[in-house]
Structure 1
């Protein structure tokens, strides 16, 4: 059997492919080695696999993950070998390669991730040939759920929200400034915490003008700081995976038009595309 995982910082999509080619899908929490301890990742994988999946049946495992780069790739592979000790082939690759393979298959082009975090690349149909580092949650990740969530929290903490929006925020979350600051600076996975506030902008009670302005600002930063830094970026279609890109397509497409880049494929998940790629 083949097991495929597409893991972000918030969730992991899995696909189990049996010898007859039948696919079974399930989901667990996200695993990012920059924000989670190896023991925590291992325990989560062991405790959240569905009952029908016997780890001894897995012969090949393809894991694509946020944070799977440099020495962190070896950390993830070590965890997976512990979780699936009898698996013959275990490969861990960065989530950006999953985005390129899922969105473009073997075609050359531009691929991006806009989820909890963000990333971008140029792909030649086989390998990533150019990647401008997103710099992660602290220094970059412009346009990501974490970056959008930070903007929402800053607006609230600095009293920049319209009063009608502020009342909705307080009614939904019941958080004060001390609780927010404590959660950001003393608890793990602050990126996931911030990204969780993006759904606030989907609420019918939130002023549409406020949501649109914040999202357009975030996506403009994403294009100005990352996408437009690729040489001749306008020659490519904009292909993107991620919940932020998918759920806020209206504002994203407006900014795409501002930067004279044509939209391509925009998906919320690509686990099915990865299953097809590996089959």
Structure 2
């Protein structure tokens, strides 16, 4: 039995719309947004937004129409196209930008057009699913902006917009209750309860959350190194950092002089985890991260159905490394469930659903 603890506040991305309300009535004009972003003419197409609640059964048409599943990560964007006749094509291009950042919408259109050039797209795609690291919905303005971006690059009948955490969850555990923790540069968990309502735990970024993340591990280790740069107990960590940057001074410049301090700091997490098997200081930092991630899992599990499976994803806690072993040990007697698939598999599963799911953390739109 999981018990809620008072150590940390849990933030849930849950929105309840009034019965019978239409999301489209809350959304700003997509044409206005497209114009303000200088997107290509004609990309701001109006759409009808499905309201929460059951829809007419369209499972047959969803099974037979084409699907474009997109896993839009910061370092690479992957896509899988499934045509109506069952043929499958995949493509990988550059990373997907933060759409809401300055110039992000235009860059996102370019990435999607590059994918379109590399895939045998039909004249009109049945369903497009975009799971992006930088997209958090429901949020009317964000939804309108992302629809503009999709419409500028692709022609489609239906669009499903969500964070890549949602597609990763569905890929790992399917359409069922459970908990999926994703740990990389940041850390976030998604819990689905017995009624298939979704809840998000942590994932609040380096300043407000991401407990146990790569950034947290790197930051704690580097703070210790720079606070006492001659400490013998920190020699292994200090040498690892200097081995990457050449000197402590150069390492500090990399943190403060680059475009992404968070990424630079988080990149040191992997060397810390590798040293944890032989160095006591690194071991302590990794153990603390495992305890923080375990707490995130506990908070998320409290929102899921009793006994629901737990899966850990991401580049940080890979099976066999020190962090993963610590998480497994701390969760005992509970065990981690293996992931059934990845984010692209999850996006395809969502596309084949005839009715909207996880409306607390996703947006479903139908073009007329």
TM-score interval for Structure 1 and Structure 2 normalised by the shorter chain: 0.7 to 0.9
Equivalent in 83, 106, 111 of residue 39 of structure 1:
106
SS, match of residue 203 in structure 2: coil
Q: CA deviation at 1:244?
A: 1.6
Q: CA deviation at 1:178?
A: 3.0
C-alpha separation between the residues in 2 aligned to 1:117 and 1:198? Answer: 11
The 5 Å alignment of 1:38-187 reads 38-47=105-114, 49=115, 51-53=117-119, 57=123, 59=125, 60-69=127-136, 70=139, 71-84=141-154, 86-124=155-193, 127-158=196-227, 159=229, 162-174=234-246, 175-183=250-258, 187=259
- Partners of 1:110 and 1:238 within 8 A in 2: yes
C-alpha separation between the residues in 2 aligned to 1:267 and 1:212? Answer: 31
The count of corresponding residues between Structure 1 and Structure 2 is 272
Q: 1:240 to 1:216 in 2, by over 3 A?
A: same
Per-residue CA deviations over 1:16-60 (Å, capped at 9, x if unaligned) read: 22333233333331443466732233334434x374325664502
Q: Which residue of 1 aligns with 2:343?
A: 270
Q: CA deviation at 1:13?
A: 2.9
- Partners of 1:14 and 1:25 within 8 A in 2: yes
- Partners of 2:236 and 2:279 within 8 A in 1: no
Q: 1:190 to 1:88 in 2, by over 3 A?
A: farther
Structure label with greater radius of gyration: 2
Q: Which residue of 2 aligns with 1:200?
A: 271
- Larger helix proportion, structure 1 or 2? 1
- Normalised by the length of structure 1, the TM-score is 0.79
SS, match of residue 92 in structure 1: strand
The 5 Å alignment of 1:177-256 reads 177-183=252-258, 187=259, 189-201=260-272, 207-224=278-295, 226-230=296-300, 231=302, 235-246=307-318, 249-256=321-328
- Alignment of 1:26 with 2:91, yes or no, is yes
- Normalised by the length of structure 2, the TM-score is 0.62
Unpaired stretches in structure 1, ≥5 consecutive residues: none
- Partners of 1:242 and 1:267 within 8 A in 2: no
SS, match of residue 262 in structure 1: coil
Q: CA deviation at 1:218?
A: 1.4
RCO (CA 8 Å, sep 6+): is it higher in 1 or 2?
Answer: 2
SS, match of residue 181 in structure 2: strand
Q: CA deviation at 1:89?
A: 2.1
Unpaired stretches in structure 2, ≥5 consecutive residues: 1-65, 353-368
Q: What's the C-alpha RMSD, in Å, of the aligned pairs?
A: 3.4
SS, match of residue 90 in structure 1: strand
C-alpha separation between the residues in 2 aligned to 1:238 and 1:205? Answer: 25
- Partners of 1:11 and 1:29 within 8 A in 2: yes
C-alpha separation between the residues in 1 aligned to 2:208 and 2:313? Answer: 22
Q: 1:11 to 1:217 in 2, by over 3 A?
A: farther
C-alpha separation between the residues in 2 aligned to 1:20 and 1:157? Answer: 59
Per-residue CA deviations over 1:163-188 (Å, capped at 9, x if unaligned) read: 233223212233332332232xxx2x
SS, match of residue 176 in structure 1: helix
Q: 1:144 to 1:25 in 2, by over 3 A?
A: farther
Q: Which residue of 1 aligns with 2:82?
A: 17
